[in-house]
């Protein structure tokens, strides 16, 4: 479940469970794909007995700031998430790591498809992969003129450009489609051909969508009724919006794209 709002929700839940507490135990499973550049053993040793000061996020990455470096850095890939519970019996299927905190709270990262990553960094914000991220729309969304200038250099379809983490950190497939739907922009449009008015709308909708999704704790059942999100799933040939407009599916930027020709130009 991992686009910006889901990761921000994970960050807040992790902060509630861990901030100010020590990590008493670290359980791991052997997985040289998900653990990148660090063995589970060394990872566990770096975290054990440390106090968590706060939890950070940029784009789709989340990290724990401990009282000693290095710090753990997580990416949830397609199917990773953060689960918080108290009883060991609730340890999720496909778990990769589980922390036991002072007070008995447990925090685990499961990841069925193993596209997620667990890393160790001395200063996550200034090292790869975070160093290469663009702006995070929840933290600092640039002015429309700045966006317009960036988009002017890109000839790829706007849908593909929205997915570029080096520009829009944290935007994933459903957010990109939602932004273009609400801004009334056809996903195939070359980014450099967007008008200033369109870039302005795109910026406003990106901000609105991310803020709203975060405000409802990334709980998609609480996303506004009119959002494309609720009707975009599964390449259903007769899918329609609430207003009866046809939803079509295409592959753009290598990803399934849902859009509404009647509303997007």
Partner DNA sequence: CTCAGTGTTCAGTG
Partner DNA sequence: TCACTGAACACTGA
Q: Are 207 and 137 in contact (CB under 8 A)?
A: yes
Q: Which is nearer to DNA, 105 or 129 (CB)?
A: 129
Candidate list 10, 18, 44, 161; residue touching DNA; CB under 7 A: 161
Crossing angle for the helix pair 4-18 and 196-215, nearest 10 degrees?
A: 30
Known active-site residue 53: no
Note whether 98 binds DNA by CB under 7 A.
no
- Distance CA(73)–CA(14), nearest Å, equals 13
The strand order across the sheet containing 83-85 reads 23-28, 95-101, 106-110, 83-85
Q: Is there binding between residue 23 and DNA (CB under 7 A)? A: no
Segment contacting DNA by CB under 7 A, of 43-51, 84-92, 118-126, 171-179: 171-179
Strand partners, 25: 100
> From CA 162, how far away is CA 56, in angstroms rounded?
23
Residue of 92, 105, 129, 208 interacting with DNA (CB under 7 A): 129
Q: Of 235, 240, 246, 261, which lies in the binding site for DNA, with binding defined by CB under 7 A?
A: 235
Beta bridge partners of 106: 85, 100
Q: Does residue 173 touch DNA according to CB under 7 A?
A: yes
Footprint of DNA on this chain (CB under 7 A)? 1-3, 6, 33, 59-60, 75, 77-79, 94, 112-115, 129, 153-157, 160-161, 163, 165, 172-174, 191, 220, 233-235, 253-256
Active site residues: 2-3, 60
């Amino acid at each position: 479940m991992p686009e910006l709002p889901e990761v921000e929700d994970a960050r807040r839940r992790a902060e509630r469970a861990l901030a100010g507490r020590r990590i008493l135990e670290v359980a791991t499973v052997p997985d040289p794909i998900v653990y990148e550049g660090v063995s589970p053993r060394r990872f566990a040793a770096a975290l054990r007995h440390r106090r968590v000061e706060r939890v950070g996020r940029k784009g789709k990455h989340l990290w724990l700031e401990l009282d000693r470096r290095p710090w753990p850095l997580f990416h949830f890939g397609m199917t990773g998430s953060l689960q918080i519970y108290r009883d060991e019996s609730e340890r999720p299927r496909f778990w990769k790591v589980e922390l036991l905190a002072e007070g008995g709270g447990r925090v685990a990262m499961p990841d069925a498809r193993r596209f997620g990553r667990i890393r160790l960094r001395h200063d996550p914000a200034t090292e790869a992969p975070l160093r290469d991220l663009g702006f995070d729309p929840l933290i600092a969304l640039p002015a429309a003129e700045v966006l317009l200038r960036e988009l002017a250099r890109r000839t790829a379809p706007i849908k593909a450009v929205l997915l570029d983490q080096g520009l829009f950190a944290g935007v994933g497939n459903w957010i990109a489609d939602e932004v273009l739907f609400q801004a009334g922009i056809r996903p195939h449009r070359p980014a450099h051909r967007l008008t200033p008015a369109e870039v302005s709308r795109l910026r406003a909708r990106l901000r609105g969508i991310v803020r709203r999704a975060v405000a409802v704790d990334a709980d998609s059942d609480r996303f506004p009724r009119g959002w494309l999100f609720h009707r975009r799933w599964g390449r259903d040939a007769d899918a329609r919006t609430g207003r009866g407009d046809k939803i079509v599916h295409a592959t753009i930027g290598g990803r399934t794209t849902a859009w509404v020709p009647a509303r997007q130009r």
